[in-house]
């Protein structure tokens, strides 16, 4: 099946692009984690996206996974039109739109969901919104102005998107935000459930569950291409990420003795099912316990680094270059867990 041919796309392009995107993200995080460490790396060379190809994979039901250059989007295609979950990085947005047209034909693009604020998930909003068709007609169309798609996001994501550079034009900002635990809409014959995941990758993450298609789009609370990323300066936390992964596992149901059942589209990486998320969640839980134990014993960051607590996972998930190296992950987890150990001891 086509599904299994997807393991090797664009790894190099992904690494280059992620470096650029995430240096933007860390820029937004205002130097978090840099104190006392190595000097900040020189700005990465402007990545070239010319050779990035976006590919489409039909997952099941209404849902397609679109992927290229290390970035993932998902679309729902059906009688109501097209809904786009995450719009990739701005330089890829014309290619993303072309692929959406290839899959969805001339069905109208009606809605966008942004899982969180980062430029590799919201950068294509202007282009996709421009191509969208408002359901508002007649006298009200003028009032809608250049707002075309309904754009859903958590309120914290909307607030953080206001601070992005380059700025997202107001016409491509979220139009429908929520601050409650969840939001539900009905689109293409199925419930679309958006669940807020507090203090995980950021403070505005949502996972999107297409209930009849049985597919979850996770954003960056689940990324199986590397160690998990959380931005403390943007409200993220390691425990929040683990909680979010447990919430995904609560929603997924595996097919009897086979791959499949509920499918999971990660923020970065390959399509997974429940087993993949369980495996990843287990790793993070084990890492948390090891770090908590080291912190309880009074170990310093340098001692933890020297102890090689991630050795058994580094081969698969580690990185020595780019924005989220194994060392930056170790620092982030250590500082985060040390901080929460201190506050709970008070």
Minimal distance in Å, beta carbon 28 to Zn ion?
10
Position 274 contacts Zn ion (CB under 5 A): no
Which two structure tokens, joined as six digits, stand for 62? 């209404």
Give the nearest distance from C-beta 231 to Zn ion in angstroms: 8
In whole angstroms, how close is the CB of 118 to Zn ion at the nearest point?
3
| Residue 70 Cβ vs Zn ion, minimum distance, rounded to whole Å | 12
Q: Quick one: which segment of 87-95, 116-124, 237-245, 269-277 binds Zn ion (CB under 5 A)?
A: 116-124
**Interface region with Zn ion, contact rule CB under 5 A, candidates 57-65, 215-223, 244-252, 292-300:** 215-223
Q: What is the DSSP string of 50-71?
A: TT---EEEEEETTEEEEEETTE
Report the residue from 220, 274, 331, 336 that binds Zn ion according to the rule CB under 5 A.
220
From residue 66 to residue 105, the character string flagging contacts with Zn ion as x (rule: CB under 5 A) and all else as - is ----------------------------------------
d(C-alpha 199, C-alpha 340), whole Å:
13
**Minimum CB distance to Zn ion smaller for 121 or for 148:** 121
Residue closer to Zn ion, measured from CB, 213 or 231 = 231
Stretch that binds Zn ion, among 5-13, 117-125, 144-152, 280-288 (CB under 5 A): 117-125
Whichever of 118 and 196 has its CB closer to Zn ion, that residue is 118
DSSP 8-state code for residue 162: T
Nearer to Zn ion, 86 or 190 (CB): 86
> Which residue, among 144, 83, 143, has the nearest Cα to 113 in the 3D structure?
83
Is 118 an interacting residue with respect to Zn ion (CB under 5 A)?
yes
Contacts of residues 23-27 at CB distance under 8 Å and 24 or more positions apart, as own/partner, are: 23/323, 24/119, 24/165, 25/118, 25/119, 25/231, 25/323, 26/231, 26/323
CB 345 within 8 A of CB 299: no
Q: Which is nearer to Zn ion, 81 or 269 (CB)?
A: 269
Count of positions on this chain that bind Zn ion (CB under 5 A): 2
Please report, as residue ranges, which positions from 24 to 63 form the binding site for Zn ion (by CB under 5 A).
none
Q: What is the four-CA torsion angle of 246, 31, 233, 111, rounded to 10 degrees?
A: -80
CB of 160 to Zn ion, least distance (A): 11
150-154 and 176-178 as β-strands: parallel, antiparallel, unpaired?
parallel
Q: Which two tokens stand for residue 239?
A: 């425990």
Comparing CB distances to Zn ion, the nearer of 62 and 284 is 284
Residue pair 313/227 in contact by the 8 Å Cβ criterion: yes
How far apart CA 104 and CA 95 sit, in angstroms, is 14
Minimum Å distance from CB 22 to Zn ion?
8
- The vertex-225 CA angle with 221 and 227, nearest 5°, equals 65
Does residue 177 contact residue 194 with C-beta atoms inside 8 Å?
Answer: no
**276 is a site residue for Zn ion (CB under 5 A):** no
Closest contact distance (angstroms) between CB of 201 and Zn ion is: 6
Q: Toward Zn ion, which CB reaches closer, 187 or 227? A: 227
Residue with tokens 């202007």: 126
- Least separation in angstroms between residue 114's CB and Zn ion is 11
CA 154/CA 161 separation, integer angstroms: 11
Minimum distance of Zn ion from residue 285's CB (angstroms): 21
Of the candidate spans 115-123, 293-301, 303-311, 324-332, the one that interacts with Zn ion by CB under 5 A turns out to be 115-123
What percent helix, strand, coil does the chain show, rounded to 5?
40, 20, 40
What is the binding site for Zn ion (CB under 5 A)? Answer: 118, 220
């Amino acid at each position: 099946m086509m599904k299994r041919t997807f393991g090797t796309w664009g790894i190099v392009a992904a690494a280059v692009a992620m470096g650029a995107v995430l240096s933007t993200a860390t820029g937004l995080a205002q130097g978090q984690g840099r104190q006392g460490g190595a000097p900040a790396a020189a700005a990465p060379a402007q990545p070239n996206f010319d050779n990035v190809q976006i590919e489409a994979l039909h997952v099941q039901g209404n849902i397609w996974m679109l992927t290229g250059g290390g970035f993932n989007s998902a679309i729902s295609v059906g009688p109501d039109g097209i809904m786009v979950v995450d719009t990739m990085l701005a330089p890829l947005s014309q290619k993303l739109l072309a692929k959406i047209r290839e899959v969805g034909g001339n069905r109208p693009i009606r809605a966008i969901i942004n899982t969180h604020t980062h430029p590799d998930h919201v950068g294509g909003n202007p282009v996709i919104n421009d191509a969208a068709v408002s359901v508002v007609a007649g006298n009200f169309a003028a009032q809608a102005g250049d707002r075309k798609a309904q754009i859903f996001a958590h309120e914290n994501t909307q607030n953080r998107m206001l601070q992005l550079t380059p700025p997202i034009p107001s016409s491509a900002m979220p139009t429908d935000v929520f601050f409650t635990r969840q939001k539900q809409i009905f689109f293409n014959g199925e419930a679309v459930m958006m669940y807020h995941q507090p203090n995980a990758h950021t403070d505005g993450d949502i996972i999107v569950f297409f209930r009849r298609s049985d597919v979850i789009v996770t954003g960056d609370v689940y990324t199986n291409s590397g160690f998990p990323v959380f931005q403390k300066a943007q409200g993220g936390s390691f425990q929040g990420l683990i909680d979010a992964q447990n919430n995904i596992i609560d929603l997924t149901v595996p097919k009897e003795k086979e791959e499949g059942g509920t499918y999971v589209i990660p923020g970065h990486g390959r399509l997974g099912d429940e087993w993949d998320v369980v495996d990843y969640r287990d790793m993070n839980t084990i890492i948390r316990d090891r770090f908590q134990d080291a912190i309880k014993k009074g170990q310093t960051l340098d001692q933890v680094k020297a102890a090689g607590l991630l050795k058994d996972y580094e081969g698969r998930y580690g990185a020595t270059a780019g924005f989220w190296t194994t060392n930056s992950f170790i620092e982030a987890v250590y500082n985060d867990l040390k901080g929460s150990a201190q506050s709970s001891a008070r």
